[in-house]
Amino acid sequence: MPSPKSDAANEVAKEKSQEKRAIPKHDKLQKKGAVPLLGNATLARAVNTSAQRRDIPDRRTYTKTQNNAHPFAKFENLREKGLEIGIPGPADTVTQDKGGVRSALAEVGIGYIGWTQDTFVQNVLPNAARSTIANQLYSGQNPTFSTYNFMMVTYDLSRFGIPDGQIIVGTEQQAFSWQPGGPDRWGINEIAYYQTFFDRKLELKAGYLRNSYEFAGTVVGGNAGASVFGPSSNVLYQGGMSSNQTPTPALNLRWNFDDRLYTKGSIQRSISPGGVFTEVTQNPTGLNGTTPNTGILLLDETGYLNKAAAGSPQTWLRAGAGYNSSNYTSLALPNNRTNPNTFYYIAADRQFWQTDAQGVASRGIYGGFSVMGAPSDLNKVTQYDELRVYVIGPFDSRPSDQISIVATDTCWSNLAVNAALVKGNLVHWDSKAISGTYTAHLAPGIYTSVGLTYINNPTSITYTPQTGHALNFSFSTSVFF
């Protein structure tokens, strides 16, 4: 089933639109007494609403329904489980089931999803202190290109009697024109085992995990395709959380009190205290069990998720905290290392208005906020605040597009700022930004995002008069296979 966030409007509305386009054929089938075709997300709700909320299929209903409902139903159980963000399903891909390849693999328990994301960013303000790529200070100072390419494969273990059992193996390749944005790498992004216990009350996931996809919900709108430019905070990564770029060994356990209330914990090998760039440089393939100065990250998130339904707007509240035993460089005593490090986050998203409650309930206007924090003696970013407003399915003619407006404030450590000030640098205490993004769902599996972001002080702590402001134009495409 789709993850708690994967019932996003992009896929739901796309399926709904496909149904509308197929009305003549649909009517003929109904006249013959046949079962009408259902959209992928519609099927998911029909199968088991409560199980959908927990990202777990009701296998009895699924088995009964898959042969006489939607042709993509047989792939639902092969989508990756345990995620907090949504990745489009097979119906929302370029390849779908062309040539019957996906069906042939599904017969032996194998599922897959591949996607590529390419992004261009450039500061369009004049006098932006253009430099060589080697001396570039922030993304967009010069025209900046990046590409991410992923391939995920799943294997269904439930066929052997393991409740919701699944093996997930994934790889990621990335390349950047500005290396500090990356750097370039090719390696794994996940090797995991998943299953449930106690009638799906308990979910277990273990292996090399990317916890940024499983905690905090940092992607605006909750869907990987519809939110290419969803802002997120460095607080989580400097605190040690793993990501697509930096998978690490971890054990995740989630307890579902009911269909809405949950708590989820993780024991994870922290990424490098030096951050994502250092971790990737030291462990580009992602297969190393450890890197210098890393310890254990203990993480917990408790949340309440009520999915959108007719007359019932979506509400998602979550709060989490992390404790990291890694050896961090002290900002108070730069030549010394110390531990532990900690961080926290609180976030909320609420659907304020449903524009198509009886059709696609997730369409509408949303608002949300995030607050994150960390100690100033071990972290350059000590606080991150975000306010967001976004619209899913803004127009009847574009039911799976998305518009987002996001305002952020990143606050720097007073110790780090004072140290730079003593050296005679121009410094700033925070960096504020506001961004607007429109994401268009052009065709099954194809998304394009255009964004404009104004940033006050785009560099880290120190700056020059020429780098005090940026107006970054962004263009990105995501294609799913």
CA 107 to chain centre: 29
**N-terminal to C-terminal alpha carbon distance within the chain:** 18
Is 188:318 a contact under the CB 8 Å cutoff?
no
pLDDT digits (tens, 9 = 90+) for 354-403: 999 899 999 999 999 999 999 999 999 999 999 999 999 999 999 999 99
Question: How much is the average pLDDT of 311-319?
Answer: 96
Number of H helices, E strands in the chain: 9, 20
**pLDDT of 36 strictly over 60:** no
pLDDT level of residue 133 (50, 70, 90 thresholds) = low
Q: Would you state the pLDDT for residue 222? A: 67
Residues with Cβ within 8 Å of residue 161, at least 6 apart in sequence:
none
pLDDT digits (tens, 9 = 90+) for 229-274: 445 678 999 999 999 999 999 999 999 999 999 999 999 999 999 9
CA distance 336 to 320: 29
CA distance 61 to 66: 8
Q: Would you state the pLDDT for residue 227? A: 53
Overall fold of domain 9-480: Porin (2.40.160)
From the list 256, 254, 294, the residue with the least C-alpha distance to 272 is 294
Q: Which has the minimum average pLDDT: 9-18, 300-309, 385-394, 420-429?
A: 9-18
pTM score: 0.83
Domain ranges of the chain: 9-480
Q: Would you state the pLDDT for residue 19? A: 45
CA 314 to chain centre: 18
Mean model confidence pLDDT for the chain: 85
Q: Would you state the pLDDT for residue 127? A: 76
Place of tokens 């802002």: 231
Query: What is the maximum alpha-carbon separation in the chain?
Result: 82
DSSP of 459-478: SSSEE-GGGSEEEEEEEEEE
pLDDT level of residue 334 (50, 70, 90 thresholds) = confident
Percent over 90 (pLDDT), the chain: 71
DSSP of 282-320: H-TTS--S--TT--EEEEEEEEEEE--BTTB--EEEEEE
